[in-house]
Amino acid sequence: MGRQIAAARALVGLSQAEVAARANISVPTLKRMEASEGPASGMANNVAAVMHALEASGVLFIEQDCNGPGVRLKDRK
């Protein structure tokens, strides 16, 4: 999930500071999440806040399947 968060942020073109502000967390907290191998490190409510901020920016988080987890942009209809 940590790498998914980093990929999602890059996909929508937001800086770490922008995502951290939208999720009401610190930049160092976001950096630790993004650097995590596997599940994002940090408190569950902070991870959820980051995911919600990125989803509100148009990201879909793709769950683990036979090809692994991922992210993509929502259809803009």
- Structural tokens at position 69: 């987890």
Model confidence band, residue 77 (pLDDT cutoffs 50, 70, 90): low
Give residue limits of the domains in the chain.
Answer: 2-71
Fold of 2-71: 434 Repressor (Amino-terminal Domain) (1.10.260)
Model confidence band, residue 5 (pLDDT cutoffs 50, 70, 90): very high
pLDDT digits (tens, 9 = 90+) for 28-74: 999 999 999 888 999 999 999 999 999 999 999 998 777 778 899 99
Are 20 and 31 contacting, i.e. CB atoms less than 8 angstroms apart? Answer: no
**pLDDT attached to residue 68:** 76
